[in-house]
Structure 1
């Protein structure tokens, strides 16, 4: 099997991810969270689970067919054993979701918001829905009865269907109806309260009319989840030279891959279940019953139908990102960055400062070029607007557009075409490696020569998610960082992944090795009784070499604090292995997304922000960048942020050696939510625009200036 790993302090990545998603689900169960936000957490949990099955379970399923003797290097489990343990974990999660959905629904009903079943309706409402079915739905439904002339159809990924057990002359048959995707999911009822019926319930209620020559014995709402883990670089796709077209074909293929899960809404007969298991070639452990709707995206539309005051009471208090504390509103961002480094902290501070920098650069005569790596963008992206404007103004604009950003492929394809039409030079990444880095290099020239403004961040150039994801973005005019960024773009343009850099840590060549060196440096300090310490904030920790290096440092006595939002494959507190490691996770209103890697303390402190998690896919199979923070004031600010994150006892949970998470807060503790703290802190430090003097005070000011200066 290769290297003999110590599994005593590690755990399976998939089971760890399920624990993370359970923490998301439990946010929906907290009465302290506004009721409409609790409903959204239910949707986030459901959507997360869908993606988990499409990507992770799909990948493991394929591996079970190809590499049935493979053992995971963190859990020592085979693919089949992983699938079994995942299935065992799912039952309790489905039951917990149903309980929380029921609790949330009851609370919503008290506020006049109700998802109705037909038992809740009066005769007039039932007649209204019947008329709606006959006039709006019946013409667009396509029922199928499976038989010799009608073979079992392909059931697309994540499309809700109505399945029916039909009987005719003593013979049983299966009928199926796909729910139309272009119809409103909710049908609202008349009245002062917000009452609605889901589309699938209406179709299931009245669909018997489509099968008049059969007796409907049973019917159910169902949904199939298919694997979506297609490798865009697989040799079966190598017969096209057009990479955009290549990615379009992959998006189509995704809807047809092997089923990995079958869900039923509010039950169904065993006959239907067994019939579909056979037709879909899935096992009983891949079949789940749910009392919660199988697709909950409708919750975002629901708020549009809720009275304004109720919507306000049921939602988080609105928060508008502040202007960065070190930037003066209304003044040139370019000039201010040239005066000193700036660190933007999203969503507490606005991404508009970076967008303004791009706008200024697009129009500045001194700008020679703008180079940027893009992984995900908003649906309406101002960033694209100003990149196009720069190209149209004669600047060289080079955009590395990663078309393999999973589930954002089509959006990136569309934007790549827009940018190309405007005159931007487009690259599509590097073969076998996703470009996940967040780097923008603006090169300028004046009478004194070439100078740079470089932006390096932890998150995407997405104006929408910057309002809900916590991320960090450095704006610097450092010549050293600018020269490294120049090397970076030169290297990726010629597919050189082995470039050397003086300041940046770049995966796959140098990031992981350098992180391990910093961990070993702290280990050596501990062994010689010097002050030492490690803080690492990331989304996931799965890289076995990083895990083992941290365990070695722990054994030497290095205090290690890991703030890992999602997957964490190291188990802390194992005597003689990880007893000096503390692991916590923050799940709250905003998605924790920033990556911060801090080593040492005091004058010896080294802090990096990065696009990379400590996962093997990031450290070895992606192009990632970590950037050092050199400015003393920004290092101090980051150190203060780290201390607040460590003290969070409201949204933070602590990971035990057993793999379970527990609340940090103890009786009598003063509550501290880091996200709430940072919102208030950003508003407290926000600088106001300079007021222009007018009228009498302006004339007095001019006279005083003239008197003092003699002008």
Structure 2
């Protein structure tokens, strides 16, 4: 069976590299404003960093501990996967350097210039030298490396200026190396005086004045480097004794990331053979893990460049401003009353998150509300949601927050919020030892005319007020008692550690999500060529799902997969996936909804939720997926899917070899995200006029 799936599957890591290459395409798109293109280079770089920290780090662990382990989709061992990754990563570095240089060249005529020392004007050189001596040099901590000064620990993703040093004393030559950490608390770039936006990176300034830093020595081979360390804390590290406070356990685990093995070394200049050998020995790496880049290794600063520009000039270089709009489905007044009358669907970031926050605030003060229960995976640094939950607890409501402390790279933020919630009187519980709680569900229980009733919110994205303006997601709010009863059962099961709960409507992983989706696929397979499957998700790696999709394709079912990132199933493979089409959309906003649609017309069945069809989601996480029971909202989501499948601007179609290609040019250009922004900006429709999504759905 493993050999059969390899006929129509690809390795997940190689699929991810092709997705990130697609991100770089946005940086090359001349229709995208120049500073936005630069941001896509930064996003590509950030993605690459996390890929090496997590995926490459994990593969190194597997390669060392289980040499016979093979990826079921490609048949490659961990070592073979690493070879392929390094092989395909090198050209991406060169392509990124080329794209960055092209954007930089296009920005220069407008006075937006990232400069090298040799490009500075005479007055600018004087300014930089003065700033170095007064503001940078006093903060440096240079070190020589010899028998009395051992090689220091290099922090993950921090910059270090290095050089070879020579001193002649008493006719004897002393050779050693010097290293200077670029202070993390110093701005990444030094802005130069004048009307234009001219700047130079601090590491280049330090490199220029290394003679001053290492004054007694003759400096050569000046360079700057950055190490990437394995940041994938193993399950054993995440395990805990049941008697120990989980927060304490996570605090112990977080510092380990800073000291884990090096998986990549980036350099600004080509290393001389002796220097290369030195670093390979120190970091226990091979030359294939060393990558040279001609562009900055840290690009956080590019997101602030536009703020330095005059307002009129800024309009030329960034996207036209867009703010999430008031939902046309929501009226002013009580959210609880509206939801009791009819289900409400919000589509972020086109719709504002405000109606959901208004619901929680209202529930915090409504005397009929008894309990509020919510799962939390990621929150913004400043969160109104937490304020309202704390207010509810202080008003005597029973507030339960199930917080997942292992939301990667957000652990400390979640620890801080959990403490704040506990201080306010909220009941805080945590995820399971072996299963992350990734679900997005909120349950409000209230008493109405002596009866206990529910309002349930289920979403595809986190309760993060910042990302709700940057990621596309769906948020359903319903008073349907069937969903509410399942929601109450879910929270009871989470509180008692029962992962095998029985639910009538909700699809809950790890035991009730994948099987229900596979059953829905079977219903479409029975229809043969009349069957229809549309699935939108971030990634697809689950082998059982892939096998079922292949079976559906062989049965003649028409299958469309909207997969933003990793997709391990290859479309169009003769005799296997002929009827499967895979589309990836990358645009201004991060595509994030998980939507599972089966059938068409009045018989269409749609589910939305937190889980992708990835093995980690279907088997190792607690996910909640909800059926859309309201016919009008089903049509609404069906309209959204049709727009996305019609996209021929930001969409790319996967080929049989796993590459992504642009759709053929058409007379009518459809940028799905632009369509949704335009519709959100429309005036509230008159009652007699059909909403746009219904008009589109009826086409």
TM-score clears 0.5: yes
Structure 1 residue matching 2:442: 3-state secondary structure: strand
Shift of 1:687: 6.6
User: Is contact 2:268-2:294 (8 Å) kept?
Assistant: yes
User: Is contact 1:225-1:261 (8 Å) kept?
Assistant: yes
Shift of 1:15: 0.5
Take 1:419 and 1:501, find their aligned partners in 2: how far apart are those partners? 29
Give the TM-score taking structure 2 as reference length.
0.96
Measured against aligned partners, the alpha-carbon deviations of 1:87-106 in whole angstroms (never above 9, x if no partner) come to: 01111101111111011101
Take 2:277 and 2:591, find their aligned partners in 1: how far apart are those partners? 42
Within 5 Å, give how 1:376-525 maps onto structure 2: 376-525=378-527
Indicate the residue corresponding to 1:248 in structure 2.
251
User: Is contact 2:162-2:223 (8 Å) kept?
Assistant: yes
Take 1:307 and 1:39, find their aligned partners in 2: how far apart are those partners? 18
Indicate the residue corresponding to 1:47 in structure 2.
46
Structure 2: state its 5+ residue gaps. Answer: 687-699
- Over 6 Å off, 4+ runs: none
User: Is contact 2:240-2:246 (8 Å) kept?
Assistant: no
Indicate the residue corresponding to 1:229 in structure 2.
232
Indicate the residue corresponding to 1:126 in structure 2.
125
Take 2:631 and 2:448, find their aligned partners in 1: how far apart are those partners? 28
Structure 1 residue matching 2:534: 3-state secondary structure: strand
Measured against aligned partners, the alpha-carbon deviations of 1:280-300 in whole angstroms (never above 9, x if no partner) come to: 111111100001100100112
Indicate the residue corresponding to 2:354 in structure 1.
352
Take 1:132 and 1:447, find their aligned partners in 2: how far apart are those partners? 71
Aligned length: 683
Shift of 1:442: 0.4
Matched, 1:669 2:667: yes
Structure 1: state its 5+ residue gaps. Answer: 689-711
User: Is contact 2:237-2:253 (8 Å) kept?
Assistant: no
Shift of 1:233: 4.7
* Greater alpha carbon shift after TM alignment, 302-311 vs 558-567: 302-311
Matched, 1:179 2:177: no
2:677 aligned residue (671, 676, 679): 679
User: Is contact 1:665-1:671 (8 Å) kept?
Assistant: no
CA RMSD in angstroms, aligned pairs only: 1.5
Shift of 1:321: 1.1
Take 1:235 and 1:586, find their aligned partners in 2: how far apart are those partners? 34
Structure 2 residue matching 1:325: 3-state secondary structure: coil
Within 5 Å, give how 1:609-688 maps onto structure 2: 609-666=608-665, 668-684=666-682, 686=684
2:305 aligned residue (285, 302, 306): 302
Structure 2 residue matching 1:234: 3-state secondary structure: helix
User: Is contact 1:571-1:657 (8 Å) kept?
Assistant: yes
Give the TM-score taking structure 1 as reference length.
0.94
Shift of 1:272: 2.2
Indicate the residue corresponding to 1:280 in structure 2.
283
Shift of 1:271: 2.8
* Greater alpha carbon shift after TM alignment, 15-24 vs 441-450: 441-450
User: Is contact 2:239-2:434 (8 Å) kept?
Assistant: no
Measured against aligned partners, the alpha-carbon deviations of 1:314-361 in whole angstroms (never above 9, x if no partner) come to: 111111111122111x31111111110011000010101100000000
Take 2:629 and 2:105, find their aligned partners in 1: how far apart are those partners? 53
Take 2:307 and 2:674, find their aligned partners in 1: how far apart are those partners? 26
Indicate the residue corresponding to 2:367 in structure 1.
365
Shift of 1:5: 4.5
Measured against aligned partners, the alpha-carbon deviations of 1:362-384 in whole angstroms (never above 9, x if no partner) come to: 01001100000000011110000
Indicate the residue corresponding to 2:694 in structure 1.
none
Take 2:236 and 2:487, find their aligned partners in 1: how far apart are those partners? 27
Matched, 1:270 2:273: yes
Shift of 1:603: 2.8
User: Is contact 1:587-1:651 (8 Å) kept?
Assistant: yes
User: Is contact 2:210-2:219 (8 Å) kept?
Assistant: no
Shift of 1:311: 1.4
